[in-house]
Amino acid sequence: MAKVKNAYRVSKMSWKKDFKLNWEVYVMFLPIFLFMVVLHYIPMFGIVMAFQDYNINLGYFKSPFVGLSNFVDLFSGADFPRAIGNTVILAVLKCTIGFVMPIIFALLLSLLRSKKYKRTIQTCSYMPNFVAAVIVCFLVQQFVKQDGPITLLLHNLLGVDNMNLLADPNPPTFWIIYLVMGIWQGIGWGSIMYVAAISSVSGDLHEAAAIDGASRMQRIFKITLPCIKPTIMMMFVLGIGTSFAGGYDNILLLYMPTTYPVADTIYTYTYRNAFGAGAGANYALSAASGLFQSIVGTVLLMGSNYLSKKASGSSLF
């Protein structure tokens, strides 16, 4: 018992000793800690708006409690099933084609022998990620309008109707535009983790495989991909968790009433109902939608992490 108490005392004093030795690190961490608390945890109290008939003049504590009424209004809308369907379709595209493209790009970069050429391509691929969404969407609108270069190219080569492609209400035109735009904007930034993981793969394995006569493609599938599998699974789990609610600011900038049937998502559906013209700001409905998307995202995150752990032994937590 005395030994246990002494061990507990040592472990209890270790944090203080570590703080004295590394207090500079703790000071550097303090702004990040405050940032997370102030901008992420304190605002979580706003969840109460989802269960209130919120009035900005009355505030949180005086606005009347209405239970699940806001959720009923959210789910009972005539366009809600359509918004759910489009959200699921775009999430699936993002978690399949959109997820695979950065991996392929990272693998292609690993095949380049010239470090200077490789770094140049990497730097250029990162740039679209730092371009504002408004500018990216404006460029897309110019390229796919009726007399845009992409529209004319598709019209002359494939016989596609000469029209504004963003105004096409038929699937999958808008979905393809959104997917390609997302890939172009995020393929370089999304490949950073994979490039780092590939660079950590032992070169001895590749050399031994090359001596045995393995081709580049065989080494990729037999050595590189298995070695970076934990990283792939970690990014996949994170992607599943954020696919349901993230990345729809571009849709707000691209879609129009004619494309609501194929472009309307839960995010844009809520935006129109909560902050649309003539309706007034309905913060309670917006909070209810945000809480619903957070719950779904958490369930997807936990479920994908569980399945990943069961299927491959790799998981995020």
Distance in Å from the first CA to the final CA of the chain: 34
- Residue 168's φ and ψ, nearest 5 degrees, are -75, 115
Only one residue has tokens 């992409």, namely 150
d(CA 297, CA 143): 33
pTM of the model: 0.82
pLDDT at residue 5 tops 50 = no
- Note the pLDDT of residue 103: 94
pLDDT in tens, 230-243: 889 888 888 888 88
Structure tokens at 219: 């080494």
**Which among 229, 227, 222, 235 has a CA at the least distance from the CA of 200?**
227
- Answer for the pair 189, 182: CB distance below 8 angstroms, yes or no: no
d(CA 38, CA 268): 27
Task: For residue 289, give the amino acid letter.
Answer: S
- Answer for the pair 287, 275: CB distance below 8 angstroms, yes or no: no
Strand partners, 210: none
CA dist 10 to 3, 7, 14, Å?
11, 5, 6
Average pLDDT over residues 178-201: 91
Average pLDDT over residues 49-71: 88
Average pLDDT over residues 58-79: 88
pLDDT in tens, 101-144: 999 999 999 888 888 888 899 889 999 989 888 999 999 999 99
- Note the pLDDT of residue 204: 87
Instruction: Report the CATH number of the 80-312 domain.
Output: 1.10.3720.10
pLDDT at residue 249 tops 90 = no
- Answer for the pair 49, 58: CB distance below 8 angstroms, yes or no: no
Buried b / exposed e across 3-38, counting CB within 10 Å, b at 16+? eeeeeeeeeeeeeeeeeeeeeeeeeeeeeeeeeeee
Mean of the per-residue pLDDT values of the chain: 86
pLDDT in tens, 204-230: 888 888 888 888 888 999 999 999 988
- Answer for the pair 293, 244: CB distance below 8 angstroms, yes or no: yes
